[in-house]
Amino acid sequence: MITPTLVASQYSTYLIKKLVVLSGELYGGTTTGELLKWDGVSAWTLAAPQNALYTSLIDIIVFNSKIFAVMSSPTYGNGWLLEWNGSNAWYVQERAGVPVGNTNVTCLCEHSGELYVGGFAFPAGGNLYKWDGNVAGTWLLVASTLLGETSLQKIVSHAGNVWVFTDNNGYLGENVAGTLIQRATSYRIGGTIPVGLLSFGGDIYGADTQAEYSLKKWDGASGWTTVIPDPASVRCSDLFEHDGEIFACSYTASGQPLLKWDGSVPGNWIQVSTFPSLSFRNGISFGSDIFMTDIGGNLYQIISNQFVLPDSISSSEAFGIPGIRFRIYMDSILSSEAWGSPGLGQDWYISLNGIASEEGVGVPTLKRTTNIESALSVVIEDKEGDIRLVLEALDGYGDVQLDDRDVTRDAGFETAVLITLGTDKRAGDEDPLPDAGGYKGGWWGDGVPDVPGDLIGWKGWILQRSKSTDKIVTQCKEYLIDGFQWMLDDGIVSAINIEVKKIDTMEKAGDSILWMSLQFIRPGQDDLFYKFFYNWQSQILRRG
C-alpha cells in the first residue's frame, strides 16, 4: 500500500476547496476565497488574498488560460465571478454578478469556449447559466431547471453538450438547444448527493456520497448502469481521471483511501493508498503524478510508478518491438517466445517470486522478481503467425495475451496498426518539435531497415504540447496518412480512408481528445475498420 508524500503543509489556517493546473503550475482555491500556489517543492505560497467583499469560494476553474472562481458574499449574495490577475490578487472588477432567478451557484465547467455555471434555488429549481464574456458582465440563462430539481450539483462537457447531475433525485440531464433533457432517472432511491460527474472514454460516469453504490455510468438510454456495487460502504468525495484510468478520493469505516477502478463492469475499486487521520477532499492529475488535498489543507503527492499492479510488469522494449509499452500479466510464460532471449531455450518458463528477471532472463528493461523453473516435461505445439498485440481499453497499453504458456498469434494486420500508432516516428528536420529537449523520436531498428529510408511509426507525438484548436485535427490526419503510407507502398492495402474529429470530453478548460477512424481497403479481401480515442497531450491511445 502506498503512503502519500506530504509536499506542502497547511498555509496559515486555509483549507483547500479545489485544485487546478495552469501553465504547468499547481494552484489551490481555499474555502475562504484565497488562491494558493504550490512552490513545486515543499510549501504553498499566497497567489491572491481574500477579496474583502467575497468571503467564500464555491468553485474554481481554468478557462481561456486564466483562473476564475465563483464566490459568495454575506452582503451581496452568491454567484459572483472573479478573475485572478495572474500575479498577486483577484481583479477588483467582478466578471459577473448573482444569476437572476437562482439564490446560489454550485460548480463551473468549460464547454466549446464558453464558461457555464450550475444554479441552486429552493424551491424554484436550479438553472444552467453561461457567462457573457464581458468585464462587469452577467450570467445568461441557458436552460431552466430539470424536472424541478433544486440544484445542478455537477456539470460537465460531454459529447458536444453540457450535461448536469442534479441533487436530491440524482437525475442526469443534457442541455439540448436551451432545454435540459432527462437522460437518466434517479441515481439512487432515497436521495443523492453528487460528488462527481466525469466524461471518460466516450461514456459519462457519476458518483455520489451515499453508501448504496460507488460508481455508475449512463446506459445510453434512460438509466444508470452500476459499474461498482458498494459492498464495503465506500463513499466517494471526488472523482477524477489520471493516465487513462478513473480514480476516486473516498472514505470508509477503516480509513480514507485513494481508489482506482479496475476497469471491469461490474467491477471493484483497487485500494491504492490509505491515510489514517484526515480524509482526502479532492485529487487532480498533475504532470505524471496524482496530487491530493486533505480536509486540513495539506497537499500530498502519489508518484504514478508506485501503483503498478502487483501481478504485472511494464517494459518499453521487452519484445524488441519499437516504442510500444507492454503490461504483461504473468502466471507462467514460455521465455524464448515472450522475451526473445537467446540465452534460454523453449524448455524453460518463468513463474513468480524468485530471482530478478533482469538477472535470469538478460532483459535489462524488466524490473520484476521471477523464478525460472524447468519445463522439460511440457510439450508445447508450435504456433504460426505474428505475436498478437491487443490494446487495453482503459490504460492504453499494448498487451501480449498468453495461451498455455505461449503468446497468442494472429495474421499480423491489427498488430501492425498498433505498432504504427504506438511508435514515435523519427521527426524530420522540417518538423516542429514539441519542446527544446532535442528528442526526435525514432526506433533503433530504423538504422538497419529492410528497405532503405523506411521509418517505423507515426508523428502524433509531435502534437503533445499543441493547443486544442481546429488545426490539430488537420495535423493529426496528415500524420496518420504519413504513418500508414507504408501499407500502400507494400501493396497491403489499396486505399486508406481516415477521419479525425476533436471532442471536448474533460471537466477542465481546454481538455479535448481526438477521435480517429481508419478504414483499410484490401485487394480481394474485406475492408477493416478501426476507431481510436487519442489524448495527444497525455499520449494515451484507446479504442473508440
pTM comes to: 0.59
Average pLDDT of the segment spanning 449-454? 81
Quickly list DSSP for 98-147: PPTT-SEEEEEEEETTEEEEEEE-TTT---EEEE-S-TTB-EEEEE--ST
Neighbours of 93 (CB within 10 A): 10
Planar angle of CA 58, 60, 63, nearest 5 degrees? 145
Binning pLDDT at 50, 70 and 90, where does residue 231 land?
low
pLDDT at 317: 32
Residues contacting 151, CB < 8 A, separation 6+: 106, 118, 119, 120, 121, 126, 166, 167, 168
pLDDT at 466: 84
pLDDT at 371: 40
Beta bridge partners of 45: 37
Report the length, in residues, of the chain: 544
Q: With 90 as the cut, is the pLDDT of residue 8 above it?
A: yes
pLDDT at 195: 83
Least confident window among 112-126, 230-244, 254-268 = 230-244
pLDDT at 369: 36
Binning pLDDT at 50, 70 and 90, where does residue 313 land?
very low
pLDDT tens column, 401-450: 776 667 777 777 888 888 888 889 999 888 888 877 788 888 888 888 87
Binning pLDDT at 50, 70 and 90, where does residue 189 land?
low
Average pLDDT of the segment spanning 39-57? 94
8 Å CB contact between 328 and 313: yes
Query: Which one has a higher pLDDT value, 271 or 326?
Result: 271
Percent of the chain with pLDDT over 90: 38
Binning pLDDT at 50, 70 and 90, where does residue 49 land?
very high
d(Cα 90, Cα 53) in Å, to the nearest integer? 11
Planar angle of CA 526, 485, 407, nearest 5 degrees? 60
pLDDT tens column, 125-182: 789 999 999 999 999 999 999 998 888 999 999 999 999 999 878 899 999 999 999 9
Domains of the chain, first to last: 15-228 (2.120.10.80), 308-410 (no CATH), 433-544 (no CATH)
Query: Which one has a higher pLDDT value, 482 or 343?
Result: 482
Query: 3-state class of 145 per DSSP?
Result: coil
pLDDT at 305: 60
Average pLDDT of the segment spanning 445-468? 85
Mean pLDDT for all residues in the chain:
79
Query: Which one has a higher pLDDT value, 78 or 70?
Result: 70
> What are the CA-CA distances from residue 248 to residues 59, 209, 242, 349 (Å)?
19, 11, 10, 38
Average pLDDT of the segment spanning 88-117? 90
Element (DSSP H or E) covering residue 157: strand 152-158
| Cα 538 from chain centroid (whole Å) | 8
Highest mean pLDDT among 261-270, 327-336, 379-388, 432-441: 261-270
Query: 3-state class of 535 per DSSP?
Result: strand
> What are the CA-CA distances from residue 286 to residues 75, 289, 325, 408 (Å)?
36, 6, 21, 37
Average pLDDT of the segment spanning 232-247? 83
Average pLDDT of the segment spanning 231-254? 78
pLDDT tens column, 283-299: 999 988 999 998 889 99
pLDDT at 358: 36
Binning pLDDT at 50, 70 and 90, where does residue 190 land?
low
Percent of the chain with pLDDT over 70: 76
Neighbours of 321 (CB within 10 A): 22
d(Cα 290, Cα 285) in Å, to the nearest integer? 5
Binning pLDDT at 50, 70 and 90, where does residue 321 land?
very low
- Indicate if the alpha-carbon torsion angle 339, 345, 351, 352 is positive or negative: negative
Q: With 90 as the cut, is the pLDDT of residue 112 above it?
A: yes
Average pLDDT of the segment spanning 315-332? 34
pLDDT tens column, 493-535: 999 999 998 887 654 555 678 889 999 998 888 888 888 888 8
Least confident window among 219-223, 289-293, 336-340, 539-543 = 336-340
Planar angle of CA 217, 501, 515, nearest 5 degrees? 50
Q: Tell me the three cell numbers of residue 464.
A: 503533445
pLDDT tens column, 355-402: 333 333 333 333 333 343 433 444 455 566 677 777 764 455 667 777
Q: With 70 as the cut, is the pLDDT of residue 328 above it?
A: no
8 Å CB contact between 122 and 150: yes
pLDDT at 118: 94
